[in-house]
Amino acid sequence: MLLDLLFPNRCLHCNSIISKDELVCEICVPQIKFSHYNFYEENPLKNRCKLLFPVENAFALMEFEQEGLSRKIIHQLKYHSQEKVGKILADWTAERLQFSEEKPDILVTVPLHPKKLKKRGYNQLHLYANTLSKHWNIPHHQKFLKRNSYQKAQARKDKLHRLETKYDFSVTENLHGKHFLLIDDVFTTGNTMNTIVWEILKNPSNKISILVMAIDV
């Protein structure tokens, strides 16, 4: 393709030319700070979640550092119209998270407000979750959660204003006795997750596990 020749895909770290289906070159992959968490055991994400809400299990693919490669990857997905990054992250997640014990019943993703969805053109979590749904054979209920208020992006705020943020979410269907895997991009203060989890747990027969692309360290 002429465009591929004129504008080749380049590694986010060293800028070398790579395949259009890659984010970083093989040499730079070790620069990504993968978490190596065990979904079923205690880990930093699970411990932070437990301070806010009941959680079964938790997994973060990467650690999110302000000057790190994981930050560049997430920002390509969220702010640079690179929806394909979601599929690559999902493939990396599926390689590292395989369910050896009980696996969730349903994948659900943090929704965007309609205004933000229209502006961005896609929800950065949908291709990620849809790809994982195929890997794991777990349905992704894409419209289970609804965001009712419009907020400035968390990544664009300082930590003080993140703590002050309040979210207004609702569920679109009353499901009973399900184990949900709630998916988001970056776990920062946990405000978003906290609001959603307690909405889902209004039905006490439900259970929650957490998956994020990265945890803010």
pLDDT confidence of residue 179: 98
Q: Are 77 and 185 in contact (CB under 8 A)?
A: yes
- Residues 144, 46: one domain? yes
Q: Which domain holds residue 163?
A: 34-216
- Residues 74, 8: one domain? no
SS3 readout for 94-158: HHHCCCCCCCCCEEEECCCCHHHHHHHCCCCCHHHHHHHHHHHCCCECCCCEEECCCCCCHHHCC
Q: Are 151 and 113 in contact (CB under 8 A)?
A: yes
- Split into its structural domains, the chain has a count of 2
Dist CA 205 CA 125 (whole Å): 26
- Residues 178, 201: one domain? yes
What does each C-alpha distance from 14 to 9, 23, 69, 143, 210 come to in angstroms?
A: 12, 11, 11, 38, 32
pLDDT confidence of residue 92: 97
Map residue 176 onto helix, strand or coil: coil
The half-sphere exposure of 177 on its side-chain side, counting CA atoms within 13 A, is: 0
Residue 105: both structure tokens together: 């019943």
pLDDT confidence of residue 111: 94
- Residues 72, 15: one domain? no
- Residues 77, 184: one domain? yes
Phi and psi for 116 in degrees, rounded to 5? Answer: -70, -35
pTM for this entry:
0.89
- Residues 163, 72: one domain? yes
What does each C-alpha distance from 190 to 41, 63, 69, 128 come to in angstroms?
A: 19, 15, 22, 20
pLDDT confidence of residue 30: 94
- Residues 170, 208: one domain? yes
- Residues 10, 81: one domain? no
Neighbours of 75 (CB within 10 A): 14
pLDDT confidence of residue 120: 86
pLDDT in tens, the chain (217 residues): 554 556 799 999 999 999 988 999 999 999 999 999 999 999 999 999 999 999 999 999 999 988 899 999 999 998 888 889 999 999 999 999 999 989 999 999 999 988 888 888 889 999 999 999 999 999 999 999 999 877 655 545 455 554 445 668 999 999 999 999 999 999 999 999 999 999 999 999 999 999 999 999 8
- Residues 25, 91: one domain? no
